[in-house]
Chain A
């Protein structure tokens, strides 16, 4: 039966090749625009650490000024970063199974290898649990321990690309490397790792590459390492030294806690609130108590990782698909009604209404699927075009990540094209199914 329907559908398409091509093209364009838009949106909205996203929490405390909120547009939300003393207290209290305090910095890297120019290495100055907390995969060696943070000991973990650049990709564990003025010993090399969005630090760019290397947290203070992310202050620092900066109300540190269960989460929330209350009692934190723990999804949402533009484009792409579908419905209707005499003949010869509807739906779905397949091809071209135009060396890797066609979107697109075909074909098929055979037989 299906084979017969298919043959009829192909015959019908061949009878009006121009019209059939137009319908396929309309669906293809609608699908292509949707696929390109969805691909970029999906890449932005993807959960970068699905297995643990509800166990990792960004910890925030409202330390801002009494006069005005941190963000005038979102007056109820605390700032995303912590002051040094709050971060150090939370870290030192060890109230979570694991926690990490960190920030982005940088230092001059002078490679010994011939032909490699010195460069400003992007560094993550972090406490040691960064690696197990965020499931960071190691190729060689491992991270460091609490003693290395305290020391601080001159140890470094390189990412895959830096190890390739500086040591030619070999196992460099045990080798030394000069970053700024300190000579570090390599203890670990990562596998290629670039969570996207870069959820653990959304300060610089949500889709930036992770840092070139990682050094123990203690070096931040020991070397007074500069902050490459944001530093925001609402109160003058009250002195000219680095220690004054550390004691100030300036916010610049990221703090995450790993809290495996909801109970852990509640306990931690109470712990942070208690701490904030004690600080209020001591005359700090002039705003009302407002400490929020965000899991990864909430954190991405809070930081508006998906650009507004992309939400707008989703709306426009769906409307565009709507136009294409209305277009196809009109063409199908005209085409089916034109072939009504033939349908009338088939009805007279014994085809049931259901047979007629099924036969026409087969044709519609064939058009829908062909359009969907062509649409995906067009989308691949479109995404390549976006990469070619916008992949400057500033943004290449993030554009590459965002414009990668992923199987989920392809499957969703195929489903969408079938659905689109079905919606577009339903009315014309139903309408033609109601054809009274006698009317058309008379005119023959």
Chain B
């Protein structure tokens, strides 16, 4: 089909077409970059934490009287928790994974902070810790009750053996097995690596070393502490109630403060990322909607004002499909110019975001989604007005206004 008449018509009154192109270009820039951010956030939220998130819950408690006897009381409580019918395992723990709060330490392959360094987000747990997290060992063995220690408050004594994740092992012993190796704390205490955990996330999901986790066989001594319980599948909520009741019946000097599921904690940790993703999704939807409506409105309006002109063309021999093609081709041309300009704008916006806000660079294949999407939206929006135009009767040309 001949594109010349379209070009000459556009040249005569270019403003409307330029505005539509510009609108499409801006929309594309926003859609592509928003989509990129959304996908990143969703990937962050949906990563596999290597922990049995749906079945874990925490029981927070605080010391209330002198009846409390530290480890003895904790062991008593753990006995109660472990004997509940729907509980798989339970441990004392110093921090809640995926919560944003936790502890970290650095250890070294040689004394005096020499050699390779391993940063690890550590959890202090007893012999059931590994199972309660639901993490899997790939090498070595879990520690047993005999090496679980309860150091005094403020003590800097380190455990004699620990479990680390593969991520830590890779940092400290690249290319060889870390199992059985000795590493050193900042105060030069030797620590043996007893086992390697396949994969597990720690306390800070936004940390780039979130998979650097270690389990220490230590019972923490704090006035505010918590038990971590793993229920059998599907029994978490029932066990949360039962645990609170069972522990509440025993007065051993501590008060149960709150019982909370890991799912709840993780949800609030990711609330902001989820909010960002949802917000941008709404923006994209509104943007596509308003762009489509704008293109549709303008096209419909133009068709209605050009009715006589169309009638004349029909009267001098243009077929319905010619008219339809004319309007769709015009729209296609305007859209294509807009999309091309939009690609440039999208890259500029992406560059600005990555330099100003330390975002990752926009991946180019996102442009393809945006281009295809906006083309589709634009064409769909113009289709009905174009069809209406093709329905104009040639007889209309013969009538006066």
Contact = CB atoms under 8 A, between A and B. Distances in A.
Interface stretch (B24-32, B235-243, B383-391): B24-32
B324 to A, nearest CB: 21
B152 interface: yes
Contacts of B22: 326
A170 interface: no
- Assign chain B's interface to a size class: 35 or more
B276 A309 contact: yes
A335 B304 CA distance: 11
A229 to B, nearest CB: 10
Contacts of A235: 186
A110 B301 contact: no
Interface in B232-273: 255, 257, 264, 267-268, 271-272
Nearest to A107: B223
Interface in A1-34: 16, 18-19, 22, 25-26, 29, 33
B291 A327 contact: yes
B291 A323 contact: yes
A120 B291 CA distance: 53
A244 B156 CA distance: 11
B155 to A, nearest CB: 5
Nearest to B223: A226
Interface stretch (A56-64, A93-101, A312-320): A312-320
B157 interface: yes
Nearest to B300: A18
Interface in A386-430: 386, 389-390, 392, 394-395
B290 A313 contact: no
Interface string A230-250: 000001110111101100000
A394 B33 CA distance: 31
A34 B276 CA distance: 15
Contacts of B344: none
B298 A334 contact: yes
A323 B62 contact: no
Nearest to A311: B357
Contacts of B358: 308
Given A33-B283, A240-B154, A309-B276, A323 B26 contact: yes
Interface string B268-303: 100110111011100100110011011001100110
B224 A319 contact: no
Interface string A361-392: 00000000000000000000000001001101
Interface stretch (B12-20, B44-52, B69-77, B121-129): B12-20
Contacts of A213: none
A326 B26 contact: yes
Contact of B290 (A26, A118, A390): A26
B294 A108 contact: no
A77 interface: no
- Assign chain A's interface to a size class: 35 or more
Contact of B155 (A240, A311, A329, A390): A240
A119 B187 CA distance: 37
Nearest to A233: B186
A106 interface: yes
Contacts of B20: 330
Given A26-B294, A308-B357, A338-B301, A319 B271 contact: no
A324 interface: yes
B62 A335 contact: no
A331 interface: yes
Interface string B154-184: 1111000000000000000000000000000
Contacts of B305: 334, 338
Contacts of B301: 16, 19, 331, 334-335, 338
A320 B30 contact: yes
B154 A241 contact: yes
Per DSSP, are chain A's interface residues mostly helix, strand or loop, or mixed?
helix
Contacts of B154: 237, 240-242, 244-245
B146 to A, nearest CB: 23
A237 B156 contact: yes
Given A330-B20, A338-B305, A323 B287 contact: yes
Nearest to B185: A236
Contacts of A180: 223
A320 B267 contact: no
B347 interface: no
Contact of B257 (A120, A307, A324): A120
Best-buried of A19, A307, A327 by chain B (most CB within 10 Å): A327
Given A240-B157, A244-B154, A312 B353 contact: yes
Given A241-B154, A331-B297, A320 B283 contact: yes
Contact of A331 (B15, B30, B280, B294): B294
A322 interface: yes
A330 B357 contact: no
A313 B37 CA distance: 11
Contacts of A108: 62-64, 223, 255, 257
Given A236-B187, A240-B152, A311-B357, A22 B293 contact: yes
Contacts of B19: 326-327, 329-330, 333
Contacts of A244: 154
A308 B360 CA distance: 13
Interface string A185-221: 0000000000000000000000000000000000000
A321 to B, nearest CB: 10
Interface in B322-380: 349, 352-353, 356-359
A333 B16 contact: yes
Contacts of A327: 19, 23, 290-291, 294
Given A308-B358, A317-B283, A329-B19, 18 more contacts: A33-B283, A108-B257, A110-B64, A120-B60, A226-B222, A236-B186, A240-B152, A240-B155, A240-B156, A309-B272, A319-B29, A323-B30, A334-B305, A390-B271, A390-B274, A395-B268, A395-B271, A431-B15
Interface of B: 15-16, 19-20, 22-23, 26-27, 29-30, 33-34, 37, 60, 62-64, 152-157, 186-187, 222-224, 255, 257, 264, 267-268, 271-272, 274-276, 278-280, 283, 286-287, 290-291, 293-294, 297-298, 301-302, 305, 349, 352-353, 356-359
- Ranked nearest first, the 6 interchain pairs of A and B with the lowest CB-CB distance are A330-B19, A327-B294, A394-B268, A108-B62, A326-B23, A236-B187
17 contacts: A25-B293, A33-B283, A106-B224, A226-B222, A236-B187, A237-B156, A240-B156, A241-B154, A307-B272, A313-B279, A319-B30, A323-B291, A326-B26, A327-B291, A331-B294, A331-B298, A431-B15
Interface of A: 16, 18-19, 22, 25-26, 29, 33, 106-108, 110, 118-120, 180, 224, 226, 235-237, 239-242, 244-245, 307-309, 311-313, 315-317, 319-320, 322-324, 326-327, 329-331, 333-335, 338, 386, 389-390, 392, 394-395, 431
